[in-house]
Structure 1
Amino acid sequence: MDEVLHWLPSRKKGIALDSTLGGGGHAEALLKRDPDLRLIGLDKDVEAITRSHKRLKQFEDRVDLVNSGFEELDQVLDDLEINCVDLVIMDVGVSSFHLNEPKRGFSFSQNGLLDMRFDTSVGTNASDIIARSNERELASIFTRYGEQSQALKVAKAIIKERAKSPIKTTVQLSKIVESVLPRKRRGAIHPSTKVFQALRIAVNDELDALSKGLKLAAERLCMGGRMAVISFHSLEDRIVKRTMRNLEPHCVCPKESPICVCNNPGYMKILTKKPIRPKQPEVETNPRSRSAKLRVAERIKV
């Protein structure tokens, strides 16, 4: 939290966009620090909006909360008649609330229905993907979104088990994964981690949404505005890193060209050449933050 506040400095009568509201922690910290800040909060999960309404009640005259994803922020800002924002925060991926609520089906450590949707009112859930996908499709999901080296082995086991009975719960799926990918050593990540990550990303189309959301957020930054993005695994971080680099001014002329004539219209500057990692005290109080990476960029051209 301290790192985010450091990299998103106060703006007098500024507008902040928290595009992944979650529990409302970042929003609350910004609103407490800046007494004249207006904040727009987005989240696909209606439960997150409800929680944040309660948490941010004391600031309600300065807050607009919208049940929407960051890939739709353009429309949200247009509806609110906001041309540009000064600060953007994107805390990507699954929240602690999702992992701690069994009925949402995100965690293999608690039994619940295999859902994994951020927005439970629309879309295909995880159990649907498990039931309808063939072996090749499942293996592709686990490889592409989970970087699971034993993806085909897991897919084969799922196909075999679902022929006996439908796979509807998190514990069912986790046991199937563990049966073919036993934990090799004490302290190693749980065998189900990458499989559950892959399914969650597929269910919510997270990587495409992230790529689109990053570009839209950068486009809607005011001159001198800053965007802070927190990612939690390599797939997310690669997209953040690549998008920020592509938005920086850089020459794309052919190598044989003696001078630059491309006038590449980059308009962002990366402020964190390497990602900022959480300090040890934060990891001790919040173990899930250990894999977090913070990258920050600033708008330098209109």
Structure 2
Amino acid sequence: MLQRMGDLLAPALERPGAVYVDATLGLGGHAESMLQRFPQASLVGIDRDPEALTRAGARLEPFGDRVSLVQAVYDEIPGVLDDLGHGSADGMLFDLGVSSMQLDVRTRGFAYAVDAPLDMRMGDEGPTAADVLNTYEAPALARVLREYGEEKFARRIADRVVAAREVEPFTTSARLVELLYDAIPAPARRTGGHPAKRTFQALRIEVNDELAVLRRAVPAALSRLAVGGRVVAMSYHSLEDRIVKRAFAEVTTLDVPPGLPVVPEEAQPSLRLVTRGAEKADEAEVAANPRAASVRVRAVERTAPDRPDRPGRSRSAGATRTPRGGGRRGSRRGVEPHHPLDLLRPSHSSPSHPMSHPREVVA
């Protein structure tokens, strides 16, 4: 969907000196396309994965000083822009979920089709999927599978995981896939795709705190969007899309009492929806890229400076960055203040913690 992403961002990136933020850089495919199409734009490429930054850096080297690559998480966009001396950005793209590179690298453990270590971290810090499987009690693990994977047999799977790890801790994906085949009834295995799909999605989201980060990232990005700028989000499952949809609705909806003959200017929203509902990939795109079958695309445009005192305005609409490690504890719905992963994550003051040193500009 490179062409469509460019079309959505074109009104913002055709401006002289436009700043384009690729919040999920990956291998740099979207970034390369935008730099080629909009020769006056410069790129701020963000990814938490150092391997992705290395590969993308090589790919984008021909664009020289138009490119700045930063190892960070996308809820840190305001801080990244500050570090690079940009007050705002003109276009931003979020291509959410796991990247093709991460799926293809066997040692990362994202794919259930091959046997690999149960890692699933998008970066190089923090607990792994194996840590989740080997430390969570059955109720906590079932909650993860149910809420993040929408798995109907969550408690059944969780109970079997807890029993199996007493015999031997989980280390690789093949053993987990075998357990899932046994735990999910045969009639259910015949529908809804691979029986491991939902569990692997849930573990990946839990390990990387994806939904909490996304809830912070969208308002953080909108708070730094220039007038006339656009944010485009590509979601691949209903949990991501729901967060994006609600965040966009909060800042584009007129929230005043019905029947007012005149709506005060200060009550008008400062952003508008560019897409009507969620756009989907067409048949040709899906044929060329099967992963696009589940994509949902939404976009907004800033039409006026932010109005902090607009009636009915959500407090989150102008939110700034919440650092990783700070604010994470207890941020997940229904989780006690002491989350199972908290004891495994590096402490905020630890030298190895990603927020204990400045974000690294790698190119």
TM-score (norm 1): 0.95
Which residue number corresponds to residue 248 of structure 1?
A: 252
The one-letter code sitting in structure 2 at the alignment partner of 1:288 is R
Give the match for residue 6 of structure 1: 7
Q: Kindly indicate whether residue 71 of structure 2 is the aligned counterpart of residue 67 of structure 1.
A: yes
Q: Residue 277 of structure 2 is aligned with which of 261, 274, 298? A: 274
Query: Which secondary structure state, in structure 1, belongs to the residue aligned with residue 175 of structure 2?
Result: helix
Deviation string, structure 1 residues 44-99 (Cα, Å, up to 9, x no partner): 00011001101101002200000111111111100111011111000011011111
Quote the offset at 1:224 in angstroms.
0.6
Which residue identity lines up with residue 82 of structure 2 in the other structure?
A: D
Which residue number corresponds to residue 326 of structure 2? none
Gaps of 5+ in 1: none
Which residue of 232, 237, 242 corresponds with 2:236?
Answer: 232
Query: Please, which moves more after superposition, 103-112 or 184-193?
Result: 184-193
Whole-Å separation in 2 of the counterparts to 1:7 and 1:233 = 21
Matched, 1:199 2:199: no
Q: What is the letter of the counterpart of residue 51 of structure 2? A: E
Alignment of 1:125 with 2:108, yes or no, is: no
Return the offset for 1:252: 4.7
**Which residue of structure 2 aligns with residue 111 of structure 1?**
115
Deviations 1:265-296 (A, max 9, x none): 63211111221111111111111111001101
Alignment correspondent of 2:359 = none
1:49 matched to which residue of 2? 53
- CA distance in structure 2 between the partners assigned to 1:252 and 1:195 by the alignment: 42
Deviations 1:221-243 (A, max 9, x none): 11010011000000000000000
> In 2, distance between residues paired with 1:23 and 1:279?
23
2:37 matches 1:33? yes
CA distance in 2, matches of 1:94, 1:214: 18
**What percentage of residue pairs aligned between the two structures are identical?**
37
| Change beyond 3 A, Cα 1:179–1:66 | same
Q: CA deviation at 1:186?
A: 5.4
**Cα drift, residue 183 of structure 1:** 5.5
Q: How many Å apart are 1:264 and its aligned residue?
A: 4.4
1:96 aligns with 2:100: yes
Q: For residues 159 and 222 of structure 1, what CA distance do their matches in structure 2 show?
A: 50
Q: Residues 190 and 256 of structure 1: is their aligned pair in 2 closer, same or farther, counting only changes over 3 Å?
A: same
CA distance in structure 1 between the aligned counterparts of 2:127 and 2:267, rounded to whole angstroms = 40
**Match in the other structure for 2:340:** none
Q: CA deviation at 1:262?
A: 11
Shift of 1:182: 4.8
Q: Give structure 2 stretches of 5+ with no counterpart.
A: 306-363
- Indicate yes or no: 2:151 matched with 1:154: no
Comparing 186-195 and 68-77, the one that deviates more: 186-195
Letter in 2 for 1:2: Q
Deviates more, 1:87-96 or 1:266-275: 266-275
Cα 1:260–1:300 change in 2 (3 A) is closer
Contact persistence 1:251–1:262 (CA under 8 A)? no
Say whether 1:164 aligns with 2:167.
yes
Task: Say which SS state the counterpart of residue 56 (structure 1) adopts.
Answer: helix
TM-score, normalization: structure 2? 0.79
> How far off is 1:11 after superposition?
2.5
Given the alignment of the two structures, is residue 180 of structure 1 paired with residue 169 of structure 2, yes or no? no
Cα distance, 1:258 vs structure 2: 9.2
Let me know the Cα RMSD of the aligned residues: 1.8
Greater RCO (CA < 8 Å, at least 6 residues apart): 2
Return the alpha-carbon distance in structure 2 between the equivalents of residues 271 and 240 of structure 1. Answer: 13
1:299 to 1:160, Cα distance in 2 relative to 1, 3 A? same
Match of 2:23 among 3, 19, 31: 19
Amino acid at match of 1:45: D
SS at match of 2:167: coil
**Runs in 1 of length 4+ with deviation above 3 angstroms?**
182-188, 255-266
Which residue in the other structure is 2:139 paired with? Answer: 136
**What residue identity is the alignment partner of 2:279?**
I
Distance 2:204 2:164 in 1: 20
In the alignment of these two chains, the number of paired residues is: 300
CA contact (8 A) 1:182 1:191 kept: no
Q: Is the deviation greater in 31-40 or in 237-246? A: 31-40
- Does the residue aligned with 2:215 lie in a helix, a strand or coil? helix
Q: Is the 8 A contact 1:17 1:40 kept in 2?
A: yes
Within 1, Cα distance between the matches of 2:21 and 2:66?
Answer: 12
Q: Does the CA contact (< 8 Å) of 1:267 and 1:301 recur in 2?
A: yes
